[in-house]
């Protein structure tokens, strides 16, 4: 297995700093190279916190969070981590105190969601989590597949397909399938709105690889 770090938070190409808001949805990040902080950054987090952030890079096998720092009020201020792109997905665990200090939490798929809550009295220094992503052996096949032009406007062309490829699907950044086809080296994409997309390429051995591309 190969551990890679790739930065792509929306349209940024460097390591990203993600600070969770005090309340509300803090965003959907398509990144494998980021640092996530609570809402206090280098200070204590705020009382009455209740917010979420999702990390969801489509072209990876899973997402890991390494907690370099973790310090919250025991029992009352907690971080819940979900195995998917939202809080409706399976709960990996709910953590408080210093229970995640030096620990790693990993998703089973391409997305992981953090939900932070604090009460009205005591606070702590919060947390700092480093994002990383894991690619499997199927990445070798992915590297042999070339998608162009990228960005694309009307047609997306694919080189490097072989008999091991079973099907290709166009998916959006939330993992929803928009188009599905048997193996073809040209896809018509003119009707898609501008933005980031993925190609989900299913291999006959049951594995899936992803290629990212941009629609202009």
Considering 118, 135, 152, which residue would you say is the last residue of a domain?
A: 135
Domain that holds residue 99: 2-135
CATH number for 205: 2.60.40.1930
- The string of pLDDT tens digits covering residues 69-118 is 999 999 999 999 999 999 999 999 999 999 999 999 999 988 999 999 99
How far does Cα 63 stand from its chain's mean position? 6
Rounded Cα distance between 203 and 167, Å, is 7
Q: Are residues 146 and 127 in the same domain?
A: no
Q: Are residues 124 and 176 in the same domain?
A: no
Q: Are residues 105 and 183 in the same domain?
A: no
Task: Identify the weakest region by mean pLDDT among 15-19, 133-137, 166-170, 171-175.
Answer: 133-137
Total tally of structural domains belonging to the chain:
2
- The string of pLDDT tens digits covering residues 108-162 is 988 999 999 999 999 999 999 999 887 655 555 666 788 899 899 999 988 877 7
Q: How far apart are the first and last CA of the chain?
A: 33
Rounded Cα distance between 175 and 96, Å, is 31
Q: Are residues 168 and 114 in the same domain?
A: no
CATH number for 81: 2.60.120.290
Of 105, 93, 108, nearest in space to 129 by CA? 105
Q: pTM of the prediction?
A: 0.63
Q: Compare 205 and 124 and report the one with higher pLDDT.
A: 124
pLDDT at 24 over 90: yes
Considering 135, 152, 182, which residue would you say is the last residue of a domain?
A: 135
Q: Are residues 123 and 163 in the same domain?
A: no
Specify the DSSP class assigned to residue 204. T
Q: Are residues 171 and 98 in the same domain?
A: no
pLDDT of residue 9: 32
């Amino acid at each position: 297995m190969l551990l890679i770090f790739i930065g792509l938070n929306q349209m940024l190409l460097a390591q990203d700093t993600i600070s969770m808001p005090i309340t509300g949805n803090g965003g959907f990040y398509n990144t494998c190279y980021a640092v996530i902080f609570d809402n206090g950054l280098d200070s204590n987090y705020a009382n009455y916190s209740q917010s979420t952030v999702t990390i969801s890079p489509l072209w990876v096998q899973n997402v890991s969070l390494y907690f370099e720092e973790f310090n919250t009020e025991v029992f009352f201020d907690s971080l819940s981590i979900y195995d998917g792109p939202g809080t409706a997905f399976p709960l990996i665990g709910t953590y408080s105190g210093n229970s995640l200090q030096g620990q790693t939490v990993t998703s089973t798929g391409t997305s992981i969601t953090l939900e932070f809550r604090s009460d009205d009295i005591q606070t702590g220094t919060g947390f700092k989590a480093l994002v990383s992503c894991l690619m499997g052996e199927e990445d070798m096949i992915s590297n042999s597949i070339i998608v162009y032009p990228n960005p694309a406007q009307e047609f997306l062309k694919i080189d490097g397909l072989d008999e091991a490829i079973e099907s290709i699907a166009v998916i959006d950044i939330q993992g929803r399938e928009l188009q599905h086809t048997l193996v073809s080296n040209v896809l018509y994409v003119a009707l898609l709105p501008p933005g980031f997309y993925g190609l989900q390429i299913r291999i006959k051995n049951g594995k899936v690889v992803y290629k990212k591309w941009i629609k202009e």
